[in-house]
Amino acid sequence: MKKVYLFLAILGISAPSFSQNLNVQIFDYNGNDVTNGVYAIPQLHPSAPTTDVKFVLKNISAADMDVKVRRNTLIMPAGYQNAICFGETCFPAESDTTGFEQLLTMNALDSSFKVTIFNNDNTTGDFSVVYYVYDINNPTQYVSVKVYFGNGLTASIGENTAESISVAAYPNPASGSVAIKHNLTSDGQLMITDITGKTLKSIRLNANSQSTQVDISDLRAGVYIYSIQSGSKRIISKKLVVR
């Protein structure tokens, strides 16, 4: 059995843009603007081996653009997999970035962006994944949508399940160095990546020290993603601006 959440109709929609950087809007299957927002999967049953979640992109810039999609998995229990389809290609579940760019024509709608959730092991549990649509000619320009099921909108893991995990960068924007403050009760890992998903820094976080100073003098000015990771799970991701 395959459950497909279809986009209904947004032709002519006049919803305002919530784009922070890239002049692209993301709509869910109901035509709601979820640009830089969240989309909750209505239902996901262990008996359904695959679930497709479809989005529509609208280029609201003054020119055509080539874009890719990058994935950042925040919570994904063992047994679940997710894959990105874009254009005419569905990429392997192991791929965090679409291998080919997709042309978004100015003022046109593109309905080829789809996320497929695989659940062949009758898995239960919550998950949360962020998908970034970015300009291949300027990867610091992007919009995103967080897709989650259950309580996957917020993240918790291991010994931290009884509390809310928080992480923040000060200052932000930053230059030279940045302090990463957190409330972990067990050790973790800080990952700093660029928007294409390339890991630039990996730093151990000690639960006994809730503030870690990070040298970012070697990073070019731009937008990056910093995440707390425990094991194979990235449980919190936020944006870091380097000046």
Asked whether residue 176 is domain-assigned, the answer is: yes
> In the prediction, which pLDDT does 227 show?
78
DSSP 85-131: EETTEE--TT-SB-SS-EEE-TT-EEEEEEEEEE-TT---S-EEEEE
Whether residue 11 sits in one domain with residue 90: yes
Final residue of a domain: which of 103, 125, 149? 149
* Domain closes at, from 149, 173, 203: 149
pLDDT in tens, 114-146: 999 888 777 677 888 999 999 999 888 899 998
Number of Cβ within 10 Å of residue 44's Cβ equals: 19
Distances (CA, A) of 82 to 34, 106, 147: 20, 29, 11
Mean pLDDT of 232-241: 67
Q: What is the CATH number of the domain that holds 209?
A: 2.60.40.3080
Residue 233 lies in a domain: yes
Q: What per-residue confidence (pLDDT) applies to 32?
A: 84
Are 44 and 123 in a shared domain? yes
Question: Are 172 and 212 contained in the same domain?
Answer: yes
Using one digit for the tens of pLDDT, what is the confidence trace for 95-119?
999 989 999 999 999 999 999 988 8
Q: What share of the chain is helix, strand, coil (3-state, %, to 5)?
A: 0, 55, 45
Please state which of the ranges 2-6, 28-32, 74-78 shows the lowest mean pLDDT: 2-6
**28 domain residue, yes or no:** yes
**One domain, residues 112 and 196:** no
pLDDT score for 171: 94
**Same structural domain for residues 116 and 206?**
no
The model's confidence at residue 2, banded by pLDDT at 50, 70 and 90, is very low
Max mean pLDDT among 53-62, 125-134, 182-191 falls in 53-62
* Global confidence as pTM: 0.63
* 227 located within any domain: yes
Q: Across the chain, what does the average pLDDT equal? A: 79
Selection from 185, 164, 173 nearest residue 226 by Cα: 173
CA–CA separation, 133 and 22 (whole Å): 8
CA distance 59 to 103: 10
Structural domain tally of the chain? 2
Q: Which structural domain range is residue 217 located in?
A: 159-242
Backbone angles phi, psi at 219, to 5 degrees: -90, 135
Q: How far is CA 181 from CA 150, 203, 206, 220, 235, in A?
A: 27, 13, 11, 22, 15
> Domain of 110: which CATH number?
2.60.40.10
Once rounded to an integer, what is the mean pLDDT over residues 133-162?
Answer: 70
pLDDT, average across residues 32-46: 79
Do 74 and 6 lie in one domain? The reply is yes
pLDDT at 147 over 70: yes
Q: How far apart are CA 27 and CA 7, in angstroms?
A: 8
pLDDT value at position 97? Answer: 93
Closest Cα partner for 207 from 193, 228, 226?
228
